[in-house]
Structure 1
Amino acid sequence: MIDDRDRKILNLLQTDADTSIADLADRVALSVSACWRRVRRLYEQGFVLRRIALLDRQKMKVPTTVYVMVQTSDHSAEWLDKFRQAVVDIPEIIEVHRLTGNIDYLLKIVLPNVEHLDHIYKDLVAKVKFVDVSSYISMEEMKATTMIPTAYA
């Protein structure tokens, strides 16, 4: 069980995981040692999975986002294993979601340009069979965050 102070710590860590314990303690009105114990407990209990660095996509030269919707007629474990390995092997595919409804999977792909999508498409369809693959190019990123709500924990 976490309390409001834990939620505030988690929100601060989501904003900047490099925030010092002293700064966290000051911002949540705790002593440094009490804050450190809470942070350690939050990690131990699995509320914080890992610390990462978010890279600038422009500087990394992958500014283009494409969403690909995939339909398959094969829902076997073997197909799923092949599909899972195929998407893991393509670094430009940064998210994959299995969906309800008439679309089976949604892929989020980051690319240097739209033309590069053809390489990803050919690589993917060479590894796995699909009924339909539809691509949608993002024209504007209106909201992007890695922060998840903490109110429900």
Structure 2
Amino acid sequence: MTSAFEPVPPDPWTPPQVPPPVRTRTNPWHLLLAAAAGAALVGALWAGLDLADSGAPISTPATSGEAFDLRGTFTLYSGGYGYGTCGGSGGYSDITTGTTVTVYNAAGTVLSQGALGTGRPNGAGSCVFSLAAPNVPAGEKFYLVEVSHRGRIMVQPEDARNGNVALSLGN
């Protein structure tokens, strides 16, 4: 006998009731704002690429008469000594007399290659090498100088031309 207060179990085969999806209307101002923001982004990218000129040099290529020899010093801290000269040891063993010095322009084109000169001790385990790269074309906005494979360092044209390049490595 069933009581009037006893609940009736639900039919297990009846699918659950899902409310119909609620449809909202897109505000036309939101669409207009998104379109304007997208157009502004595309315009800014276009202007930026136009100003960068896709990496092309701004100045005209230098003639051979406008070339100069880049000169300066390279100081290696934690260098090793040997018979009046010095050079790198351990992780710096690639730094020694004759190590390649490469000069690049802003676009990454190699402009010149030179070498480190003989190193001389400078106290506390440091070595100072002369640095030179011949026939560097004039007229660049800046130069990137790399010793061995140790990364490119930006050098201003005045410093490059006047022999005021002073690079260092180590702690």
Query: Same fold judged by TM-score > 0.5?
Result: no
Q: Between Structure 1 and Structure 2, whose CA radius of gyration is higher?
A: 2
**TM-score of the two chains, using structure 2 as the length reference:** 0.29
**When you count helix as a share of all residues, which structure comes out higher?**
1
More RCO (CA 8 Å, sep 6+): 1
